[in-house]
């Protein structure tokens, strides 16, 4: 009966620590990919390069190759007259061309910029360079949207960073508290060992060993659960999963494992040292 209670208590501690470490892994993963997500939204904002009415599709494709080689360009998409016409029909209806003798839709290029160039000042330079091309009639982008997006992304990044720091602090506190309660329940055993002359090192040794395995097993469970969570996200997000830095997954596994072991062992050492000096009267508090 006693052994069953001890096993149940140990399993409860391991599961509790595992859940907290899983939370830590998720927080680290989100924090490490904040910039990637920010860059994704920036690089998917389009600068439209509208060509003059006399420009042919061959001219547009030639200009496209030239624009692709510019240092600030991430991707260029060619928009033919037929594709532009289809988009306008979806936006304005099929009868919008009835007022025109000929199609007013020119060929154009959708230019995606590199994230480092996604700012108001950089966009002015981009518009000057693209607008200097002879066949370009107009370069358009929503500069107000750029300012709003940059401001919102910075705010989101700060909020996410703050939440993650709070979660990490809570995680450490919860793990330490779980280990502390587990060792505190054995305070009578520690006191008895001190009465028979056992040294702190001798008393601390089995608890440190137990704390190591407790932290290691909990971390392995957390890493396994986190791997399953990533697999689930990958299956349900498809291409979006490519935004995340997969090379950071293994370091996160290692960090979680080391953190679990260190927090458990440091808390165990602190509690054993503290309980070794506790008086008999304080054992019942």
Which tens digit of pLDDT belongs to each residue from 217-272?
Answer: 989 999 999 999 888 888 877 666 666 777 888 999 999 999 889 888 888 888 77
Q: Are residues 156 and 233 in the same domain?
A: yes
* Residue 68 located in a structural domain: yes
Q: Name residues whose C-beta falls within 8 Å of residue 176's C-beta, 6 or more positions apart in sequence.
A: 263, 266, 267
* Residue 143 located in a structural domain: no
Give the residues of the chain that fall short of pLDDT 70. 1-7, 9-10, 81, 83-105, 142-154, 238-243, 276-285
State the residue range of the domain holding 122.
46-137
Residue 258: its pLDDT value, please? 92
* Residue 31 located in a structural domain: yes
Domain count, the chain: 2
* Residue 184 located in a structural domain: yes
Q: Are residues 174 and 243 in the same domain?
A: yes
Residue that finishes a domain, picked among 71, 103, 137: 137
* Residue 97 located in a structural domain: yes
């Amino acid at each position: 009966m006693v052994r069953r209670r001890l096993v149940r208590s140990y399993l409860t501690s391991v599961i509790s620590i595992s859940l907290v470490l899983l939370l830590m892994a998720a927080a680290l993963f989100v924090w490490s990919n904040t910039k990637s997500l920010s860059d994704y939204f920036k690089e998917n904002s389009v600068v439209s390069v509208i060509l003059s009415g006399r420009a042919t599709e061959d001219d547009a494709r030639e200009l496209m190759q030239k624009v692709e080689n510019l240092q600030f360009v991430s991707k260029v998409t060619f928009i033919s007259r037929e594709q532009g016409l289809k988009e306008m029909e979806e936006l304005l209806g099929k009868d919008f061309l009835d007022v025109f003798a000929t199609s007013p839709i020119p060929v154009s290029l959708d230019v995606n910029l590199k994230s480092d160039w996604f700012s108001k000042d950089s966009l002015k330079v981009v518009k000057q360079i693209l607008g200097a091309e002879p066949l370009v009639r107009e370069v358009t982008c929503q500069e107000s949207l750029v300012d709003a997006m940059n401001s919102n992304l910075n705010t989101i990044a700060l909020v996410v960073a703050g939440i993650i720091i709070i979660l990490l602090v809570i995680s450490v506190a919860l793990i330490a508290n779980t280990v502390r309660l587990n060792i505190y329940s054995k305070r009578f055993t520690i006191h008895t060992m001190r009465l028979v002359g056992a040294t702190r090192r001798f008393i601390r040794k089995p608890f440190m060993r137990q704390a190591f395995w407790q932290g290691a097993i909990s971390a392995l469970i957390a890493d396994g659960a986190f791997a399953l969570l990533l697999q689930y996200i990958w299956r349900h997000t498809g291409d979006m999963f490519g935004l995340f830095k997969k090379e950071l997954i293994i370091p996160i596994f290692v960090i979680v494992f080391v953190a679990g072991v260190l927090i458990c062992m440091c808390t165990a050492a602190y509690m054993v040292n503290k309980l070794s000096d506790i008086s008999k009267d304080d054992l019942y508090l």
